[in-house]
Structure 1
Amino acid sequence: MFVPLWIIIANAMLVAFLITRAMRSGGGDMLERQRRTAPTHSAADEHRLMTLPQVQQAMANGHKIEAIRHVREASGMGLKDAKQMVERHFPR
C-alpha cells in the first residue's frame, strides 16, 4: 500500500504540534490539578455525610457502593475520598 510522503510528514508535524501545545497549556498532570483543587471536608462535614438517611439505609442493607454514591452526590468529592470515608465509618 502506497502512502504519499507528504501525508506522513504532515501527520508527524501535527503530532509534534499537539504534543508541544499540551506541554505548554496544562502545567502538569490532570490528576495533580484535581488534587490541588479538591475540596477538603471537616469533621463536621464528614459526620453530616455519614448520618444522611440514604447512607445509613444503604449501609444497613449492606450496599457499600450505593452509600459511596450518595456521599459523592452530597459532597462532590471524588470516588477514592468517598470510599475511604465510608470505610472509615463502616469498617467490614
Structure 2
Amino acid sequence: MLGFALIVIVLLSLLQAIRFYKDGKWSINYIVLVGLIVVAALATTLALSAIPDTVQTAAFTLFGTIAGYLATRKIPTASSGGANDTAGVSTSPPE
C-alpha cells in the first residue's frame, strides 16, 4: 500500500508540475489529494500492524477526522474570491 501511495503521489506531483509550468498556477486540490492519500496509506499500515485495539481505535478516529476535514473543506474558486476569500464573512463596516 505504501508503494502504491508513493507512485500516486509522484504522478500527482508530475501533473501539478506540468500545470504549474503551463499556467503558473498552483492547485489546492493537489494538496488535498496528497493529504487524503497519505492518510489512507497510514490507516492501512496501522490496520496491518500488531498494536492493541485501543490504540488503533484512537488513531483511526484521528485519521477519520483529518480525512473528513480534507474531503469536506470548501475550496475557494476564482469566482468566489480566490485566495482572498473571507469564507462568507463581511469585511465592510456595518451601515
Same fold (TM over 0.5): no
**Which structure exhibits the higher relative contact order, with contacts defined as CA atoms closer than 8 Å and separated by 6 or more residues?**
2
Q: TM-score, normalised by structure 1?
A: 0.30
Q: TM-score, length-normalised on structure 2? A: 0.30
Which of structures 1 and 2 has the bigger CA Rg? 1
